[in-house]
Chains A and B, each alone.
Chain A
């Protein structure tokens, strides 16, 4: 069956460290993969999109990698800050207007 997995356990890190979140998928061949940030009780906010022919994408302190062989994406936040604390969602666009979302990983950055 088709599945997207994100670490359901919260990630706790110290301010200034690099946070690394993982997204694994099975039985999909996505054209591209997206990452969103969601704060409690709010709608998700788009962060980054990476295409299947791209290995890495950067935006300020954010970096995303996409390995279609491993069927995995890694999302990094460097020099993390308490304001980065949120839930981060991985999403795959599989075509036909259907974007499939993972359940998200909660990140806590301690000062």
Chain B
């Protein structure tokens, strides 16, 4: 079955550590996204990528970094510069690569907790 796989499901980080969240898709989608979800707030866009070797900052990119070396993979690194990283992180993809997002396909999410 096609879909998006995120790992790990749960992750604990000590202050000052960088952690990387994995996102893999086998939907052959060009566009991929990382969102952050906090209680009582809408999903907020961290980074997005329209095509391999290209990515753009979203609304809350500070303290995060990404790479897009393969079409299938879009890992997110939460760096020590992110002051409040405890959140639920969602990776998504879409067929559209023409400036419109269209239907988003989400992974099951990764919950990061800072100890």
Contact = CB atoms under 8 A, between A and B. Distances in A.
B25 to A, nearest CB: 12
B70 interface: no
A42 interface: yes
Interface string A1-39: 000100010000000000000000000000100101000
A49 interface: yes
Contacts of A4: 42
Interface residues on B, range: 20 to 34
A89 B42 contact: yes
Interface of A: 4, 8, 31, 34, 36, 41-46, 49, 89, 91, 93, 95-104
B108 A99 contact: no
Interface of B: 4, 6, 31, 33, 35, 40-45, 48, 50, 56, 58-59, 90, 92, 99-109, 111
Nearest to A99: B101
Nearest 4 A/B pairs, CB to CB: A43-B106, A101-B42, A101-B43, A99-B101
